[in-house]
């Protein structure tokens, strides 16, 4: 069976990996010239998600880990925070661009064909139209393009614009993730802070409309002082409306952010995206082997 996947994030790559393991012919199209870029994810994942990725990547996964966290500090801005720490690791941070690149390496090693720097439009009858006008036909297509697809399918969905900045800071507990809440300035989402590497801290926020840049700048001044030095910034989107069904429409399957498969509290997409990829690939495998209908 021939399957075409559009979108080179974890959801698309893991769907492709599972299909390749069962003898499928898989093409994956990614509009950017490099997998994993531009970066836009905080990269904090649970130990359960980490274990799933370790099974896929093997020894490569150890090189993906950047930080380990043992506790959480949460508070209202202007109030006294509550802190809880553990002796054991509670969460880890991964280098998200490198994670995606490692997944793409495994995808290629298993025989998958990567097509980078190519935009592809999906047609529900199993056809792909590339930006150069070429057309490809597949038995099934997987839409893993992310928020762009989600917004097109669910125009009333709640999607937040997020901004995350890296700042230079030596005075920060490297084993703690901070969550700060201020319903007046940021009613839809919290501020987050964590150390990503030596002397570098990531902090961000998300809001429904414009203004996230101003919000995070004001927060940085409050948390780190007016002289905090911004080193880099990342932008992205966070889906809060939940999944949008059906996950299958004709010959097209939707996985990851395209299907709204994200955590309802944090908007994180890795854990649910992996689960969505596993279920989508399982459905296609059953269709190929048993003639079962593709149903999610």
> What is the set of domains in the chain, with CATH numbers?
1-41+97-157+242-296 (3.50.50.60), 44-94+158-240 (3.30.9.10)
pLDDT tens for 157-179 read: 889 999 999 999 877 877 999 99
Task: Please check the confidence at residue 124 and state whether its pLDDT lies above 80.
Answer: no
Instruction: Give yes or no for a cis peptide into 38 (omega within 30° of 0).
Output: yes
Alpha-carbon distance 212 to 232, whole Å?
A: 15
Give me the pLDDT at residue 210, please.
Answer: 77
pLDDT tens for 39-48 read: 888 899 999 9
Give me the pLDDT at residue 292, please.
Answer: 60
DSSP E strand stretches across 170-273: 176-181, 191-197, 200-207, 229-239, 248-249, 252-254
Q: How confident is the model at residue 295 (pLDDT cuts 50, 70, 90)?
A: low
CA torsion sign for 51, 54, 55, 56 is: positive
3-state class (DSSP) for residue 86:
coil
Give me the pLDDT at residue 123, please.
Answer: 81
**Taking Cα atoms as reference points, which of 158, 193, 153, 146 lies closest to residue 264?**
158
CA dihedral 254, 207, 271, 50 (to 10 degrees): 140
Residue 255 DSSP code: -
Alpha-carbon distance 194 to 181, whole Å?
A: 15
Percent of the chain with pLDDT over 90: 77
pLDDT tens for 11-32 read: 999 999 999 999 999 999 999 9
Report the helix count and the strand count for the chain, using DSSP H and E: 7, 19
Neighbours of 77 (CB within 10 A): 17
Alpha-carbon distance 99 to 157, whole Å?
A: 28
Alpha-carbon distance 15 to 282, whole Å?
A: 9
Q: How confident is the model at residue 240 (pLDDT cuts 50, 70, 90)?
A: confident
- Quick one: average pLDDT of 194-215? 89
Give me the pLDDT at residue 178, please.
Answer: 96
- Quick one: average pLDDT of 242-270? 91
Angle between helices 47-57 and 96-109 (to 10 degrees): 30
CA torsion sign for 95, 101, 106, 109 is: negative
């Amino acid at each position: 069976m021939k399957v075409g996947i559009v979108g080179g994030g974890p959801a698309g790559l893991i769907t492709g990996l599972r299909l390749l393991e069962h003898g499928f012919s898989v093409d994956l199209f990614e509009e950017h010239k490099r997998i994993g870029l531009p970066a836009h994810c905080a990269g904090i994942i649970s130990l359960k998600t980490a274990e799933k990725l370790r099974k896929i990547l093997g020894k490569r996964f150890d090189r993906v880990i950047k930080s380990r966290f043992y506790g959480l500090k949460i508070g209202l801005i202007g109030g006294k925070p509550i802190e809880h720490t553990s002796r054991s690791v509670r969460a880890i941070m991964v280098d998200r661009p490198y994670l995606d690149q490692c997944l793409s390496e495994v995808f290629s090693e298993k025989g998958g064909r990567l097509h980078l720097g190519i935009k592809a439009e999906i047609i529900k009858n199993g056809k792909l139209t590339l930006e150069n006008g070429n057309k490809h036909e597949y038995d099934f297509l997987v839409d893993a393009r992310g928020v762009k697809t989600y917004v097109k399918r669910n125009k009333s969905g709640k999607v937040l614009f997020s901004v995350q900045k890296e700042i230079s800071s030596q005075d920060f507990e490297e084993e703690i993730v901070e969550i700060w809440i201020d319903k007046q300035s940021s009613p839809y989402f919290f501020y987050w802070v964590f150390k990503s590497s030596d002397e570098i801290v990531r902090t961000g926020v998300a809001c429904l409309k414009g203004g996230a840049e101003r919000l995070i700048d004001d927060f940085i001044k409050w948390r780190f002082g007016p002289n905090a030095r911004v080193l880099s910034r990342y932008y992205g989107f966070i889906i809060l409306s939940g999944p949008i069904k059906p996950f299958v429409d004709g010959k097209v399957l939707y996985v990851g952010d395209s299907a709204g498969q994200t955590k309802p509290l944090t908007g994180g997409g890795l854990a649910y995206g992996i689960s969505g990829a596993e279920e989508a690939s399982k459905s296609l495998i059953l269709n190929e082997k048993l003639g079962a209908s593709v149903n999610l």
